[in-house]
A and B are shown apart, each in its own frame.
Chain A
Amino acid sequence: MSDNKTIISAEDVDYVAKLAHLQFTSQEAADCTAKLASILNYMQELQKIDVTDVPITTHVLPLQNVFREDETGSCLSREAALANAPEQWEGYFKVPRII
């Protein structure tokens, strides 16, 4: 197994955490970096295999053209739509300032 430190850096973890909208304490981040590195090293197994010209599989079933007709159905009542809202105001979901 190659050196865990080389495969993913603390900066990488920081960048990915930003993308994922997650925050870690410095201790958590260090632990996360070490564990991700060991998992990613294991995943290097995949680099051993030659997949030239192998098509990708995104769906295992031979399904295609699954549609619904353009016909209206029932909506949730506004009360039901907002029932789980952490905060609401006059029929809207309320969120803190954007900027």
Chain B
Amino acid sequence: MSQYITTIGLEFHAELKTKTKIFCSCPTKFSDQPNTQTCPVCLGLPGVLPVLNKHAVELAVKAGLALNCQISPLNKFDRKNYFYPDLPKGYQVTQYPLPVCQKGYITVQDAAGQDKKVRINRIHLEEDAGKLVHSGDSIADSDYSLADYNRAAVPLIEIVSEPDMSSAEEAREFGEKLRLILAYAQVSDVKMEQGSLRCDVNISLRPREQQEFGVKVEIKNLNSFKAVYRAIQYEEQRQREMLDQGATIVQETRLWDEASGTTKAMRSKENAHDYRYFPEPDLPPVILSPEWIADIAASLPELPDAKTARLQKDLGLSAYDSRQIVASPAIACLFDQTAALTKEYKTLANWLLGDISRLLNNAEQEYEHIPLAAEDLAYLLEQVKSGAVNNNSAKVVLEEMFISGQKPADIIAAHGFAQISDASFLTEAVAAVIAANPQPAADYRAGKKQALGFLVGQVMKQTKGQANPAMVRDLLAKSLE
């Protein structure tokens, strides 16, 4: 056991899934053409005023409810004052003393495999800044920078955890669960690689016998939860080594460098951090009535933990399969839609996690765009169940459905995959095979039961593999009695 205790807190920024920005009607959708999605309001031109996007408020509340938070009935906005070229007004509109949501939690598993509640301190609504592009390889090597305000004033929620995590594993699980919950709640696109979900880590180490927290280091530039995990492990080691040598940890912001797998102190011009928060005079307060909150709660879909439990308990899937299915909202959605039409849950789960996942990976396709309809999947599952199509053929059909988008019935017909379960036809075929193979038939009758396998193979060969093998086995056994 290490002689240090690690303390980790996480901060997330999630872009809300609104059509328009938080204070103006410019679209939020991504554009690669700089400064084409701006207006006087989000450019912060002199004289403009903000008008709050109602849907952004609702999504923030939704996120809070999904993360077990208390919702503040009284909401105000504040200005956070600082200068940066990506910040059009010289202040960011955010919520300071009165965040919309407080006191939530997510349950993770600790090192001993026990459930552990990691608390969420607050969730507040705010506006995003614009984007800076630097002329050189890094901000420090650039002769000039370029500002694009398409992203300025896109609505964000900032989610701040309590420093309740003590390992990279817990932090990763917290992050992944949070991402999944926001995705299920349809609050955000949660794409870390595209920046619609951003995560910063606060980490400190202290000797086991020490009560108060150690010096906190902030890590930024984390583009995946794998990076979060690696950065924490790296930083734990770096700080441990420093403490072992009796060195002092500096409170600072460090940037994760994916290529070298290390964190580096961020170079920045020293500025006093005195944000001079004060109430935003241009925005009246927002009162969230119990009725309104209840309406938003009613609009929440089934969330990941509840769904995993249901798949296990009600549909009889294994814990592993349930978690795997729930891990992808798109897979889970297709599962639920299909499961409404057929009771072949186990096979459905196997297909989704096996063949369909493989096909998606091979096609390098996003999970959101699975080209399969629930009713087609359900049809194919029912054909296999009734014996009309065998399992191997079904996999070929599935692949063709995936690639061509054709209906399963058409693919089965085109390939002649329909399985032969016609008893009179199969009886004739069995009789013919027995007649043509007297020796193995005699062997079987004499007690060499393994001869049956050879005879089944012969029937399958005669019927080009379409005979229902279970029926063939039964008919052969009966005929040879």
Q: Do chains A and B touch in the complex (CB under 8 A)?
A: yes
Contact A72 B132 (CB under 8 A): no
Contact partner of B35 (CB less than 8 A), chosen from A56, A69, A74, A78, is A78
- Residues of A near B85 (CB, < 8 A) are 93, 95, 98
**A86 → chain B, closest Cβ, in Å?**
12
Contact A94 B146 (CB under 8 A): yes
**B181 → chain A, closest Cβ, in Å?**
22
Tell me if A50 is interfacial: C-beta within 8 Å of chain B. no
Contact B272 A18 (CB under 8 A): yes
For the complex, what is the distance from the CA of A98 to the CA of B54, rounded to whole Å?
Answer: 35
For the complex, what is the distance from the CA of A9 to the CA of B24, rounded to whole Å?
Answer: 42
Contact A91 B54 (CB under 8 A): no
For the complex, what is the distance from the CA of A65 to the CA of B51, rounded to whole Å?
Answer: 10
Contact B286 A64 (CB under 8 A): yes
A47-99 contacts to B (CB < 8 Å): 56, 58-59, 61, 63-76, 78, 81-82, 89-99
- Residues of B near A99 (CB, < 8 A) are 139-140, 267-269
Contact A65 B286 (CB under 8 A): yes
- Residues of A near B39 (CB, < 8 A) are 73-76
A1-52 contacts to B (CB < 8 Å): 15, 18-19, 21
Contact B134 A78 (CB under 8 A): no
**A73 → chain B, closest Cβ, in Å?**
3
For the complex, what is the distance from the CA of A91 to the CA of B149, rounded to whole Å?
Answer: 11
**B322 → chain A, closest Cβ, in Å?**
35
Tell me if B83 is interfacial: C-beta within 8 Å of chain A. yes
Contact B139 A70 (CB under 8 A): no
B248-286 contacts to A (CB < 8 Å): 267-269, 271-272, 274, 276, 279, 281, 283-286
Q: For A15, A63, A72, A78, which residue has the most chain B Cβ atoms within 10 angstroms?
A: A72
Contact partner of A67 (CB less than 8 A), chosen from B51, B146, B269, is B51
Binary A-proximity of B76-92 (CB < 8 A = 1, otherwise 0): 10000001010000000
For the complex, what is the distance from the CA of A78 to the CA of B34, rounded to whole Å?
Answer: 8
Tell me if B142 is interfacial: C-beta within 8 Å of chain A. yes
Q: Contacts A15-B272, A67-B51, A68-B54 given: A98-B145 contact, CB under 8 Å?
A: yes
Contact partner of B146 (CB less than 8 A), chosen from A69, A81, A93, is A93
Majority secondary structure of chain B interface residues (helix, strand, loop or mixed): loop
Q: For A19, A63, A91, A92, which residue has the most chain B Cβ atoms within 10 angstroms?
A: A92
- Residues of B near A56 (CB, < 8 A) are 279
Contact B287 A92 (CB under 8 A): no
**A54 → chain B, closest Cβ, in Å?**
16
For the complex, what is the distance from the CA of A21 to the CA of B38, rounded to whole Å?
Answer: 26
Q: Contacts A59-B284, A59-B285, A68-B54 given: A98-B132 contact, CB under 8 Å?
A: yes
Tell me if B43 is interfacial: C-beta within 8 Å of chain A. yes
Contact A72 B19 (CB under 8 A): yes
**A40 → chain B, closest Cβ, in Å?**
17
Contact B284 A76 (CB under 8 A): no
- Residues of B near A59 (CB, < 8 A) are 281, 284-285
Contact partner of B36 (CB less than 8 A), chosen from A19, A75, A90, A94, is A75
Tell me if B20 is interfacial: C-beta within 8 Å of chain A. yes
Tell me if B10 is interfacial: C-beta within 8 Å of chain A. no
Contact B55 A64 (CB under 8 A): no
For the complex, what is the distance from the CA of A2 to the CA of B76, rounded to whole Å?
Answer: 38
**B32 → chain A, closest Cβ, in Å?**
10
- Residues of B near A70 (CB, < 8 A) are 18-20, 53-56
Contact A21 B83 (CB under 8 A): yes
Q: For A63, A65, A70, A95, which residue has the most chain B Cβ atoms within 10 angstroms?
A: A70
Contact B274 A67 (CB under 8 A): no
Contact A65 B287 (CB under 8 A): yes
Q: For A21, A67, A82, A94, which residue has the most chain B Cβ atoms within 10 angstroms?
A: A67
Tell me if B453 is interfacial: C-beta within 8 Å of chain A. no
- Residues of A near B269 (CB, < 8 A) are 99
Instruction: Give 25 CB contacts A-B under 8 Å.
Output: A56-B279, A64-B285, A68-B51, A68-B52, A68-B54, A69-B54, A70-B19, A70-B55, A73-B26, A74-B25, A76-B38, A76-B43, A78-B35, A78-B36, A81-B36, A91-B36, A92-B35, A92-B148, A93-B149, A94-B146, A95-B147, A96-B144, A98-B85, A98-B142, A99-B140
Pairs of residues from A and B, 7 with the lowest C-beta to C-beta distance, nearest first? A73-B25, A92-B146, A67-B54, A70-B55, A63-B284, A58-B279, A93-B147
8 additional contacts, CB 8 Å, given A70-B20, A76-B39? A21-B83, A59-B281, A73-B24, A76-B40, A78-B35, A92-B148, A95-B85, A98-B85
